[in-house]
Amino acid sequence: MLFINVLYRKERLKGLFTWRPRIIQSQPLDITAMQSNTPTLHSLQDEAFPTKLFPDKTRNLWGATLNVGTFNFPPAVIYRRENNGSEGHWYGDNIFLAEAVGDVLNFSLRYRRPPAGEFWGKLTVNGSWDGLVGMLARGEADIVLANLFVANVKGRTKFQEYTFPHGQVETCFMVKKPSPLPRWQSVSLPYTLEVWLAVMGVILLAGPLLHTLAYSSVSRDGDKLACRSLPYLSLYTLAMHFRVSQTVLPLRTSLQVFVVFLWVHIIIVTVAYSANLTAFLTVERIPEGITSLKQLYDSKLFVYGIGGPFFADNMAESGNEYVRGLVSRFVPMPSSEIIYSHLMRGRGVHIDALNHLSYVKSLYTDSRGFSTLRIIQECFQPYSVAMGVQSHSPLKRNFNIVINWIFEAGLVSRWFEETLTLVKKYKREDSGSPSETEKSEVEDSSEETISLTMEHLQGLFVILCIGFATAAMFFIVEFFARKKYN
């Protein structure tokens, strides 16, 4: 009987083929050999092997149980403990991926956590690794996963190899959202400073220009507007900007053109201001805050990260000088909850993968359902995400094939959306109040309100200039006509 060794199972040997001799009928029978049941070279012929002598042992693991090193790191890996106190279950897009690979290659999963506080792993003083890397090196885990970045920081690939990447994420920073601007400032926010200066310039110039045209247009036609003083006409144009109807109307063509175009300008300015003011009165205005790596570097804030010095080591290798300057301010923390308490005191920022930061941001909201955190717009480094396997692991080849199929089918993105749906569902079940969950899903639309700039209103001022130029042309015509008449 022929045996082969079996990988990842308690029984190390598996019967591959039972070898039995058979008699060749054309040869004379050897009675002695038949009685002793001993094959001879001349009377017996080996039976042909019905299978390969060296099969692919990782294409089908025959129901073996693989040890998976991981820890709670949402939304990639989430551990949910049941309310009745029974053993919980694992879910998340990384978990769904590992289970799908297990379905294809016929193995089951046994989840194991690294020791408390070790997380992905760091290099110790004696040259060994702790955390997930150490679990692979010591044979305590066959695969590891927890939003695992493909990186060879501190030479970890000597103890840990990576499968085919199943996604890519950026490394970003999250900071406390600045306090909203006072409500009394809302009356000035619909326009930017340059627009307000332009409007004030029109108010200051409209009165003197109207007075110049009116004074030069004095004639026998009895135009009452032409007899008014400069202060009166200045107040006249100012009242127009408050959309107050005027009883004194111009009779001269040049004055009529001037006033008509000025009214068009005023109506558009006031309507745009009123509409935008409504938005600023109903939506909370949040200052821009820190948006770039340079601003973060100048802020002198601490940088908090979960686990060991992984992010500090990667920042030290960055080509951005501001990112390298943040290394001295990096502080490792054991959990996102502790980091959040520091963030709300304004002490620092949280560095991690974008998908994890987005998840944490959705958890911490105020009484109205708006997040109290914001992610800085400028991120600094993308990473591929993969599973970790033991060095020279025989699993890697077939894992890569299956993961490539899954990635090309778009299942990873689908599992990510499914994870977020489950998170909302479990949160609703735990809180017992659907209204609170729905409230937390309200988007903070404060960033959608913007102050109108000269770029938005440049057409309005062009129309006003055209009106002034047209009024000036009519004034010139009237001037020469009156001179000829006189």
Per-residue pLDDT tens over the stretch 126-141:
889 999 999 999 999 9
Is there a single domain that holds both residue 192 and residue 106? no
**Is residue 416 a part of any domain in this protein?**
yes
Residue 436's pLDDT is 44
Residue 450: helix, strand or coil by DSSP? Answer: coil
> 221 in a domain, yes or no?
yes
**Are 159 and 210 within one domain?**
no
Average pLDDT, the chain: 82
**Per-residue pLDDT reduced to its tens digit, 105-120:** 999 999 999 998 889 9
Residue 54 predicted with pLDDT over 80: no
Residue 413, H or E segment: helix 411-431
Q: For residue 351, what is the enclosing H or E element?
A: strand 348-353
In this prediction, residues 442-461 reach a mean pLDDT of 63
Query: Residue 477: which domain range?
Result: 183-283+452-485
Note whether 349 and 311 are within 8 A (CB).
Answer: no
pLDDT value for 465: 84
Confidence of residue 173 (pLDDT cuts 50, 70, 90): very high
Structural domains of the chain, count? 2
Question: Residue 291 has what pLDDT?
Answer: 87
456 in any annotated domain: yes
pLDDT of amino acid 381: 82
pTM of the full structure: 0.65
Q: Is 43 part of any domain? A: no
Q: Are residues 152 and 251 in the same domain?
A: no
Distance CA 345, CA 446 (A): 22
Whether residue 363 is contained in a domain is answered as no
**Same-domain status, 29 and 119:** yes
pLDDT of the residue at 442:
37
| Residue 485 confidence (pLDDT) above 70 | no
Mean pLDDT score, 366-383 = 85
User: Mean of the pLDDT values across residues 311-323?
Assistant: 89
Indicate whether 23 pLDDT > 90: no
Distance, CA of 17 to CA of 50 (rounded, Å): 8
Q: Do 10 and 152 fall into the same domain?
A: yes
| Phi (first) and psi of residue 336, to 5 degrees | -70, -30
- 272 and 406 both lie in a single domain: no
| Paired residues of 145 in beta bridges | none
Residue 155 belongs to some domain of the structure: yes
Mark whether 126 and 230 lie in a shared domain.
Answer: no
User: Does a structural domain hold residue 300?
Assistant: no
- Whether the per-residue pLDDT at 36 is higher than 70: the answer is no
Domain identity same for 66 and 159: yes
* Residue 60, pLDDT score: 86
Range with lowest mean pLDDT among 66-70, 247-251, 271-275 = 247-251
pLDDT at 447 over 50: no
At 146 the pLDDT is: 93
* Residues pairing with 351 in the sheet: 173
Does residue 277 lie within any of the structural domains?
yes
Q: Is 401 exposed, middle or buried (0-12, 13-18, 19+ CB in 10 A)?
A: middle
Asked if 436 and 457 sit in the same domain, the reply is no
Residue 132 shares a structural domain with residue 5? yes
pLDDT at 282: 76
What tokens does 32 get? 């002695």
169 touches 355 (CB < 8 A): yes
Q: 398 falls in which pLDDT band (50, 70, 90)?
A: very high
Per-residue pLDDT band at 275 (split at 50, 70, 90): confident
Residues 220, 97 share a domain: no
Q: What is the model's pLDDT at position 350? A: 95
